[in-house]
Amino acid sequence: MSASYLEASARNRILGLLDPDTFVEFLGPTARVTSPHLPGLDMPVAFDDGVAVGEGKISGRTVLIAAQEGRFMGGAVGEVHGAKLTGLLERALDIKPAAVLLLLDTGGVRLQEANAGLIAVGEIQRAVLAARHAGIPVIALIGGRNGCYGGTSIAARSCDWIIGSEEGRLSISGPEVIETVEGAEEFDSQDRALVWRTMGLKHRRLLGEIDRVVGDDIAAFRNAAQEYFGKSRPLTLEALETQHEFLAKRLERFHDCRDAREIWSRLGVNEPARVPDLDPDQFENLAGTIAVQRP
């Protein structure tokens, strides 16, 4: 039986990923740790500040897991929300789980808590890197309606592994922001196909920004995530040099491209226009042969 990852709530994503009855939530809704800032703006709060964090098991192995609730303020990161994520990542240093799973579904910083949200994302990123330096794999999962934008896209790209569905998007600036500042000639935010092929996860996979595209199915995310348990990407000077070379080559190779289809074609995709229609298995077969692999 398949269950849509896209349609599920944050807690149902967690429950679907974990072994039954293993989820222990920290500071859950009954703790009622809410945003201290939203009431002053006459805005409603959520009893979990829009993120569930806790511990559980996948195939018997202990993991730490967090899921942003995209239906509360677009999954945006505020003070409490961000501190829950940071605390969870720091807990990894103490209990050494098989992995930390971050189910990201967010527009980035919560503008109503602007400064506290921005610093919180910086703290999350540092905690991600601390876990990685301690040899604990951090896996980002992206497949919700909000995609993963803003500072959170930087934090996601600081993780060891990124898995996503084709419904997911990963990019720093939202289409509307680019259009508002630079005009529709630069980026037409109404052009959904353009948004998808520029920021969507199939493009990110072909480019070597993420590791795996799966179907919109919680079980598929679960299976894919397990492959990375106990596996880290090193952060040695040598590994950073390799990453640097990889990013430099991409800029050089695609510097004159203005559309993802040009990039796909240059990578060797025979029919770039067909990429959107490929189902996840067909797509992964293609990606396995022509995509640039993350080093």
Chain residues 166-185 in contact with another protein, contact rule CB under 8 A: 170-173, 177-178, 180-182
Residue 237 binds another protein, judged by CB under 8 A: yes
* Contact of 60 with 19, CB cutoff 8 Å: yes
The footprint of another protein on residues 260-289 (CB under 8 A) is 260, 263
Number of residues forming the site for another protein (CB under 8 A): 87
The footprint of another protein on residues 246-265 (CB under 8 A) is 247-248, 250-251, 254, 257-260, 263
The footprint of another protein on residues 43-102 (CB under 8 A) is 53, 55, 79-80, 82-84, 86-88, 90-91, 94-95
Give least dist CB 216 to another protein, A.
22
Q: Which stretch binds another protein (CB under 8 A): 135-143, 164-172, 211-219, 282-290?
A: 164-172
Please, which residue, 24 or 290, has the CB nearer to another protein? Answer: 24
Residue 291 binds another protein, judged by CB under 8 A: no
For 32, other C-beta atoms within 10 Å of its C-beta total: 12
Please, which residue, 258 or 270, has the CB nearer to another protein? Answer: 258
* Secondary structure string (H, E, C) spanning 17-58: HCCCCCCEEECCHHHCCCCCCCHHHCCCCCCCCCEEEEEEEE
Give least dist CB 243 to another protein, A.
6
Q: What are phi and psi of 158, to 5 degrees?
A: -90, -5
Q: What is the rounded distance in angstroms from the CA atom of residue 56 to the CA atom of residue 241?
A: 35
